[in-house]
Structure 1
Amino acid sequence: MKKWLLIPLFSLLLSGCAFNSIFINYPSQIAPVKAQLNTSEPIKGIDEIVDNISGADGLLYAQEAGRVAQIAGDFEASKLFYQDAADDYLAFDDQATLSASEIGATASSLFINDNVIPYRGPGYERIMLHQYQALNYIFSGDKEGALVEVRRSNDLQSSEQAKYQKSNESVQAIANGTIDTEMNKLGEAAGSVTSSFLNAYSYYITGVLHEVLGEPNDAFIDYRKAAQISPNNPYIQKDLVRLAKQLSMPQADEFEKRWGKAQVAKKGQGQVIMLLERGFVDEKQSLTVPFRVDGSWQTVSLATYPLNSHPVPKGKIKGLGKTLTAAPIANIDALAMTALKEELPAALVRQAARAYAKAEMAKSVRSESKSRNNETDFGSIAMQIFNVITEQADRRSWLTLPKQAQIARTYLNQGEYSIQLDNSAPNTIEVKSGRTTLVWVIDTGNYTRFYSIII
């Protein structure tokens, strides 16, 4: 048995780096950081992340660090962390062949688990990375830099959609009714979201930037894309009515008939656009299914999502004369669930290969024990225990993302306003005539932060 155990150990050494998530699931690693974000000193949790950016999962930790700094209001630090993550994505795109360490990691995954494979991130995370980098630029006062990032985000939505297509293929070697049922449930839980790469929140931010920069035609196009993904959002509907009227488009009367008249700024008023992010995206859970191969017990551990996730309440913004109710524009949970379904075929291929490799290891150990006339097959028992322990689901994902994004828009007379989200502490914003006040509200559950800028 010793020579067989050397295979995963040797291949793990070839991978070259420490992998924190091989035996300790990622959600438990990031839990203290999320807890710190719910306090008045959110930045304190960042050191636990930064130390891991140089490792094999550096892309994931760079995304987390960028988000922690961003929630804390340190937009300059967040830019640097997000740029590290963006560079990692580009390096992966440009990589013609696998490095020796990645070959070793892939080999190790056949004997250990998928957490050995360096983290590359699903498409929706990459899209949101550029969206959040755009917000960093906006709140740093660099509108042009922000526009570059949201254009990258939009381009990625198109390219990722073309690159990855949904697949319902199954791998017969480990076909199992429990797995099929779970994946069907994921599809139902994701609701109307059919692609993880189409994000109405990203398109809406792009549209807002185009509009405030004096590009209403481009803004209309992006609002139209956002409306196709999130057709029931009343604020996007009214934006389309307003711009169609402004641009004298032939659809203007149809839109107005369908959605009603749009509010427009009166003399002396400015507009207020609210971006509201609530909670944290759900963590992946583990679905473990035991089965027998050639007389030995094996297990398959796949990542899944909780199907009884709590609904997110619509935000009530007080202090603007009348209560403004925000409307959902993107459920990040649904994007994550859909991404998991899109990745399923490749994950099942790896699971089948791993089950076969571990079964062969167990068979060899049994043969060696029989040749020595062992009455008790301790080697085989130990190998089966090893297989069960090492079969851990890959639960890595960007966990400081919000659970849901909501938006709201209104027009107010020039002046200062003390606003609240539900029963949060009040925060002062300023409205200027003919200008746009962008308000970004981040609600992490027990703590709410407001960031605002006049554009």
Structure 2
Amino acid sequence: MLKSVWVLLILTMGLTGCAFNSVFVNYPSQIAPYRQQLSSDAPTANINELADNISGNDGLLYAQESGRIMQISGDFTRSKTYYQQAIDAYQAFDDKATVSASQLGAGASSILLNDNAIPYRGPGYERIMLHQYQALNYLFSGDTQGALVEVRRSNELQSLEQARYQQSQKSVQDMANGTIDAQITQLSQEAGTVTSSFLNAYSYYITGLLHELANEPNDAFIDYRKAAQITPNNTYLQQDLVRLAKQLAMPQYDEFKRRWGDAVLPTEDQGQVVFIVERSFVPEKQSITVPFSIDGNWQTASLATYQPQRQLLGESKILGLNQVLEAQSIANIDALAINALKEDLPAALFRQAARIYAKYQLNQSSRSNNNQMNVGAIAMQIFNVISEQADRRSWLTLPRQAQIAREFIAAGDYNIGLNNSQNVQITVKPNRTTLIWAIETGNRTRFYSIII
């Protein structure tokens, strides 16, 4: 009996091939050194080590992380390459019409091991942000048309994710029980006022900004309005809507003017500065593990969750212009991540129930004929405990929060700083837009700017 147990375990492990990146070693601990490096002078140290995992089970996730690390470091060309690998991986998931042998293996392994054996396919908000960040790669590389292609794809995905979520709600209701309800309530409290993972005001804002910079004000107005519906209290968004409604002589102008005040239009000697500020990192998933016994056989159940969040980030202060400019939140990416987990919870619990049943059957088969515990049964129970790991995978180099600011100022050179960062020089030209992208990672803030 002992021999058959070990043969079964070896076969189970072999089903997923060599790609065991997160099956027994939790993902946050793997990515932690790379997040720490982003606060150092060598943000891309060991990047090849990370990128070497792109061919594995979690390859899509490692491609996203590698692309983001190179982007933060300012290497938009290499970032573009890694992001394209992630985009191709998502497309491969979409195009796969039949279940391959490798998928069958991963499915069988996830029943006996844990959800980390399932090839990683990120939640909708990660895929949306992937195209948004690829658009910024194109923009800061001087390719505005390439950037527009990516943001249009980002917008399309937001609509598709919303439709997919609405279709899934019936199954959520059918599986409702006390455990699901308790976890959903907790995650809802942590997410605050954000109610979905697929509606991202940050992505809509970037899309609107790129349309405006490409002299497509009508399209810009549509996307700014979508962003304002998600984040209604952002005064920069409000002023963008008033300004465009005024410029385009839209019927909404009088209403917007009454609600938010009239827009300030630039003079001939002024240029525009637009700030995108990204702060900190999204939180990592934690795990809840509950031991229990069925007919004397020990089992464990593990689920991913998020701990209560730290204090909210304040508005960033931008120094060095005519006056202190305060950036305001456009999106809390951590809330999107929490909602994504909440939306996936019913499916995760379904897989957990199937795994508990399968492991219970293995425990039963490992007993001797007289129902006494033998060495095989003990080995099986130890394996059950150590193999049960919550799926804590997620894109961990994303920012925790995105903020925006905008102002028309006289043309010239300015030394600007963000909060307590070192100053950098930017140039403002008449009737042009200077876009400044500030990325804060730990105690380090990096600035990238482009004049459009």
Give the TM-score normalised by the residue count of structure 1: 0.95
Q: Is the 8 Å Cα contact of residues 278 and 403 (structure 1) preserved in structure 2?
A: yes
User: What is the one-letter code of the residue matched to 2:248?
Assistant: L
Paired amino acid for 2:285: K
Query: What runs of 5+ residues in structure 1 fail to find an aligned partner?
Result: none
> What is the match of residue 319 of structure 1?
320
- SS across alignment from 1:43: coil
Aligned ranges for residues 17-416 of structure 1 at < 5 Å?
Answer: 17-165=18-166, 167=169, 168-169=172-173, 171=175, 177=179, 180-366=181-367, 368=368, 370=370, 377-416=374-413
Query: Matched residues in 2 for 1:363 and 1:235: separation?
Result: 63
How far 1:96 sits from its partner (Å)?
0.6
Answer yes or no: is the 8 Å Cα contact 1:170–1:348 preserved in 2: no
Q: Deviations over 1:305-341 (max 9, x none)?
A: 1113331121100000210000001111010011111
Query: Are the aligned partners of 1:171 and 1:352 in contact in 2 as well (CA < 8 Å)?
Result: no
- AA partner of residue 443 (structure 1): E
Deviations 1:399-455 (A, max 9, x none): 000000000000111101000001100011110000000000000021000000001
Pairwise CA distance, 1:66: 0.3
- Structure 1 residue 4: Cα displacement: 3.1
Aligned-partner residue type, residue 72 of structure 1: S
Q: What fraction of aligned residue pairs are identical, expressed as a percent?
A: 63
Residue number in structure 2 paired with 1:421: 418
| CA drift at 1:194 | 1.7
CA drift of 1:378 comes to 4.2
* Native 8 Å contact 2:5 2:380 kept in 1: no
Counterpart of 1:225 in 2: which secondary structure?
helix
- Give, in whole Å, the separation in 2 of the partners of 1:225 and 1:244: 14
1:432 corresponds to which residue? 429
Partner SS for 1:27: helix
Contact 2:12 2:109 survives alignment (8 Å): yes
Question: 8 Å contact 1:440–1:452 — kept in the other structure?
Answer: yes
| Segment of structure 1 superposing worse, 354-363 or 290-299 | 290-299
1:183 shift after superposition? 2.8
Give me the whole-angstrom Cα distance separating, in 2, the residues matched to 1:251 and 1:194.
27
Counterpart-to-counterpart distance in 2, 1:141 and 1:78: 15
TM-score (norm 2): 0.96
Distance 1:266 1:106, change over 3 A: same
AA of the residue aligned to 1:397:
S
CA gap of 1:176–1:250, structure 2 versus 1, over 3 A, is closer
Q: Is the 8 A contact 1:170 1:345 kept in 2?
A: no
Q: Within 1, Cα distance between the matches of 2:139 and 2:75?
A: 13
CA distance in 2 between counterparts of 1:98 and 1:11 reads: 18
- SS of 2:273's equivalent in the other structure is strand
CA distance in 2 between partners of 1:391 and 1:176 (Å) = 22
1:176 is displaced (CA, Å) by 5.8
In the alignment, which of 441, 444, 448 is matched to residue 441 of structure 2?
444
Write the distance in 2 (CA, Å) between the matches of 1:150 and 1:361: 49
For 1:352, the aligned partner's letter is A
Q: CA deviation at 1:357?
A: 0.3
Separation in structure 1 between the aligned mates of residue 6 and residue 248 of structure 2, nearest angstrom: 69
Aligned equivalents of 2:308, 2:219: Cα separation in 1 = 38
Letter in 1 for 2:238: Q
The DSSP-based 3-state class of the residue aligned with 1:452 is strand
1:163 & 1:347 partners in 2: Cα distance? 17
CA contact (8 A) 2:21 2:57 kept: no
Q: What amino acid is aligned across from residue 245 of structure 1 in structure 2?
A: K
- Residue 281 of structure 1 contacts residue 333 of structure 1 at CA under 8 Å; is this kept in 2? yes
Aligned partner of residue 395 in structure 1, secondary structure? coil
Indicate if the aligned counterparts of 1:131 and 1:149 stay in contact, CA closer than 8 A: yes
Which residue identity does 1:281 align to in structure 2? V
Amino acid of the structure 2 residue aligned with 1:339: A
Cα RMSD, aligned residues only: 1.6
For 2:208 and 2:173, locate their aligned partners in 1 and report how far apart those are by CA, in whole Å.
Answer: 37
In 1, the alpha carbon distance for the partners of 2:45 and 2:4 equals 45
Deviation track 1:2-51 (CA, whole Å, cap 9, x = no partner) reads 32343343133122232111111000000000010101221114123111
Amino acid at match of 1:79: K
Of the structure 1 ranges 12-21 and 220-229, higher mean CA displacement relative to structure 2 is found in 12-21
Q: Secondary structure in 2 aligned to 1:396? A: coil
Tell me how far apart the structure 1 counterparts of residues 20 and 323 of structure 2 sit (CA, whole Å). Answer: 52
Could you say what secondary structure the match of 2:266 adopts? coil
CA offsets 1:86-131 (integer angstroms, 9 cap, x no match)? 0000011000112211210110111111111110111110000000
Aligned-partner Cα distance in 1 for 2:374–2:15: 31
Q: Note if contact 1:37-1:45 (Cα within 8 Å) is conserved in structure 2.
A: no
> In the aligned structure 1, how far is the partner of 2:108 from the partner of 2:157?
30
For the 8 Å contact 2:66–2:79, the answer to whether it is kept is yes
